Structure 1
Amino acid sequence: MSDPVDYITRLRAEAQNPDREGAFRADRQRRRLRRASVGAFAALALAGLATWLVTSTGERPADEPYAAAALDERLWPDAWPATTNLPLRGSPARTWATDAQDLPLPVPAAVGSLSRGQVSEGLRRAREFVVAANLDRVVLRGGHPAQALELLDPQQPARARLTEHLRAPGLPDGDPTEMFTRFDPAELTLADEGIRVRGRMAFEAGSIPGQLRIRADYTFVYALRRTEPLSEPGPAPDTEEVARVVVRRQLVLLYAPAGSPGVTAGKLVPADYRRQLGNHDCGTVDGFVHPYFSKEAKAADRPWPVVDPYDESTDIPAGPLRCTVPSRT
């Protein structure tokens, strides 16, 4: 323990120090600055949180990117654009199949004069066609859907008609997107992990002996980014926006394992095909699907009905493509 006499001597010396008041003032100033800094930081944090809450509850424009850089991207409001980091963020399709082999087929059974094995082969061919027309990477990058066309019966007019539409796309009824999903490689490229698909098939005996009638209903979701170097900035620094497209297709395909006049054995005949494209500029007919990015969608004049592109409860209307505005992608 210190000597009491020494302690009292030090106190007297400090009291007589001419710089004593200045040291006290400097110490008080430092404490005030520390308190002010802590308060300002807390205020900024609360302001950022409050602003995000206001934004996410819709009291400000839904796409106003407040505090995006400070918020984990998985927690961003769904109204903010998805990015290449999480291309399926906020989409119900994020848990769907990513691979063609994950698409289930119905359990085959003999129908009419067709055996169980023949029905199984017809279903397999139908799935091959759906995949070749909508999931083949070459086709998605704008390539010619040769494999899909090869599965179609060359003796039937549908194959020649689709080939002509691919060669010379245009209005009123020459739009290749009626059957094939393709994107212009000069403008767009698929984001990593940016494809999802869900669907189902059913089958029954065809209207003529030895024919199988297959009904297919599939929904595809694609996340796309601008082809470099024209990337689209995301809502936070160092993020790149993706545009999502939802394509639903309903097909009726006929399959006959044995040949008959005018029919090629083992080939498919598309008897009916309908499509609904969510987030597509349907005023452009050049053989490609053209999605809107967020700024384009906000500025575009789209006087069309708003629909949920994920709604599979009703059939797609027959006839030419009906322009719609997706409520979500």
Structure 2
Amino acid sequence: MTPEPPLPDDIWERFVQDTERSIRETAPKEPSARARMVTERLRLEDEKRQKEAGSHKWRKRAAPPQPDGWRTGPAWQEMNGRATRKRRVLGGIAVVAAAAVTVFIVNPGMVVSWLPGGSHKKAAEPLPAETARPTGAPGAASGAPTLSRPFAGSPAEQYADGAAGIVVPEAASVGTLSKEQVASALTATKDFLVAANLDPATIRGGRPDAAIALVDPQQSDVLGEMNTALGKPDRNHDPLQFFSRFDPNEVKMAGDVVKTRGRMTFKEGRDGSVAVHADYTFVYPLTKKADGSREVERTIVRRVVDTEVLDPARFQVTPGKLTLTSSNMNIANSKCGVHDGFLHPLFGSEDRQQTDATGSPSDPYDRSRELESGGDDRCGTATRT
């Protein structure tokens, strides 16, 4: 959930000034010198009448009524105390009401969410980083996605945001490579995943030049496949094999957060190299490009990417670049049979009634299973999104 915006300085200053003025206006005022003199004279006259009544055994007459606030003593203090308390309560209510109005002007959604039946809920606690393969699929989550809460009803609500979900393991020397060289390989693999799946320009259908630049120029076959797929996508040349891209004329992101979960491991590869294995799930919240659209759907992409970094002292490689050895993916909630280089989220029941689905239903959030290959030949149905 995105943090709530702070109150602007001018609104906060006005709130403080109104509060101080309310306190000054409701503070009790001391009687004037003239009032104290009159009060003392009346007190002496009362004592004199009481003495005369006592000596002649007269019935005590009620003292003539005096204007409110003239007499000192418990009666005045109690009345003034009650009045002061009342004014303070009312003043406090006015201040609170003014503050509520101010907050409503700045962020009406937050105020509405505090009301009974509002949608304001405590954000789900984030999951710890994934360090091993899960033993099963995550449990069900309640709610339905909205523009303000696009991951509601999804396990992804507890996933990390974007690149924060790609945790690089602590490096160690492997084979003929030093700890620093292994650390560079791990960082380069993360940078490739971020540029290929999380970069806003890539998601909006742009050319993922930052990701391509991380691939070793010596891998001319891989670079040729990427360029062909991006330039003239078809069934056999699909940029979605490497990159997550959506048609900007069709959909847009619901918010600016992609949820990410997975893990990265490494081991010694061929001829003393370091082999990096990355297995990550990316969850994209989307809405239709049309103005006023409020329907939110999620497309889930799981990617398994294997890279290598070879010892430049022994192999003809470019230092600091990656060698891609494999790239596999599984896509949930996107139209099958479309080969234009974009993911096409399914909105509503009509979109989901696909006639070309050939694979069995599967849970895209179940990371306990190995990712099966097959691409579009096994286009199935997601049990949840």
TM norm structure 1: 0.70
The structure-2 alpha-carbon separation of the partners of 1:302 and 1:80, relative to structure 1 and needing over 3 Å to count, comes to farther
The structure-2 alpha-carbon separation of the partners of 1:265 and 1:81, relative to structure 1 and needing over 3 Å to count, comes to same
Higher relative contact order (CA 8 A, sep 6+): 1
Q: CA deviation at 1:256?
A: 2.6
- In the alignment, which of 317, 325, 328 is matched to residue 381 of structure 2? 325
Aligned to 2:198: 135
Aligned to 1:265: 319
SS of residue paired to 2:255: strand
**Cα distance per residue 1:203-222 (max 9 Å; x no partner):** 0112123x211000000000
Matches within 5 A, 1:178-257: 178-209=241-272, 211-229=273-291, 231-232=292-293, 240-256=294-310
Aligned to 2:361: 306
SS of residue paired to 1:289: coil
The structure-2 alpha-carbon separation of the partners of 1:264 and 1:84, relative to structure 1 and needing over 3 Å to count, comes to same
Of 87-96 and 261-270, the range deviating more from structure 2: 261-270
Q: Distance in 1 between matches of 2:240 and 2:350?
A: 21
The answer on whether the counterparts of 2:168 and 2:264 sit within 8 Å (CA) in structure 1 is yes
Q: CA deviation at 1:246?
A: 0.7
Q: CA deviation at 1:136?
A: 0.2
Q: Distance in 1 between matches of 2:234 and 2:362?
A: 25
Q: CA deviation at 1:186?
A: 0.5
Letter in 1 for 2:222: A
**Cα distance per residue 1:50-73 (max 9 Å; x no partner):** xxxxxxxxxxxxxxxxxxxx9655
Aligned to 2:230: 166
The answer on whether the counterparts of 1:247 and 1:278 sit within 8 Å (CA) in structure 2 is yes
Q: CA deviation at 1:282?
A: 2.2
Q: Distance in 1 between matches of 2:333 and 2:188?
A: 30
The structure-2 alpha-carbon separation of the partners of 1:194 and 1:276, relative to structure 1 and needing over 3 Å to count, comes to same
Aligned to 1:124: 187
Q: CA deviation at 1:99?
A: 3.4
Q: Distance in 2 between matches of 1:279 and 1:271?
A: 27
SS of residue paired to 1:306: coil
Letter in 1 for 2:361: V
SS of residue paired to 1:326: coil
Please identify the structure whose Cα radius of gyration is greater: 2
Letter in 2 for 1:297: D
List gaps (5 residues or longer) in structure 2. 1-115, 122-139
Q: CA deviation at 1:324?
A: 1.5
List gaps (5 residues or longer) in structure 1. 1-69, 233-239
Letter in 2 for 1:158: V
Letter in 2 for 1:83: T
Q: CA deviation at 1:295?
A: 3.4
Q: Distance in 1 between matches of 2:356 and 2:142?
A: 18
SS of residue paired to 2:210: helix
Q: CA deviation at 1:303?
A: 3.6
The answer on whether the counterparts of 1:88 and 1:194 sit within 8 Å (CA) in structure 2 is no
Letter in 2 for 1:326: A
Q: CA deviation at 1:114?
A: 0.9
Q: Distance in 1 between matches of 2:119 and 2:348?
A: 17
Letter in 2 for 1:294: G
Q: CA deviation at 1:296?
A: 3.1
The answer on whether the counterparts of 1:154 and 1:160 sit within 8 Å (CA) in structure 2 is no
The answer on whether the counterparts of 1:220 and 1:247 sit within 8 Å (CA) in structure 2 is yes
After superposition, the CA RMSD in angstroms is 2.3
**Cα distance per residue 1:292-329 (max 9 Å; x no partner):** 01133344335431100011112212343431211011
Q: CA deviation at 1:167?
A: 0.7
Q: CA deviation at 1:85?
A: 2.2
SS of residue paired to 2:271: coil
The structure-2 alpha-carbon separation of the partners of 1:102 and 1:243, relative to structure 1 and needing over 3 Å to count, comes to closer
Q: Distance in 2 between matches of 1:183 and 1:108?
A: 34
The structure-2 alpha-carbon separation of the partners of 1:109 and 1:80, relative to structure 1 and needing over 3 Å to count, comes to closer
The answer on whether the counterparts of 2:253 and 2:287 sit within 8 Å (CA) in structure 1 is yes
The answer on whether the counterparts of 1:81 and 1:294 sit within 8 Å (CA) in structure 2 is no
Letter in 2 for 1:266: G
Higher strand share: 1
How many residue pairs get aligned? The number is 249
The answer on whether the counterparts of 2:336 and 2:357 sit within 8 Å (CA) in structure 1 is no
TM norm structure 2: 0.61
Aligned to 1:21: none
The structure-2 alpha-carbon separation of the partners of 1:324 and 1:71, relative to structure 1 and needing over 3 Å to count, comes to farther
Are 1:292 and 2:358 counterparts?
no
Aligned to 1:88: 151
Matches within 5 A, 1:70-81: 72-73=118-119
- In the alignment, which of 358, 370, 384 is matched to residue 315 of structure 1? 370
The answer on whether the counterparts of 2:229 and 2:239 sit within 8 Å (CA) in structure 1 is yes
Are 1:278 and 2:332 counterparts?
yes
Of 257-266 and 267-276, the range deviating more from structure 2: 257-266
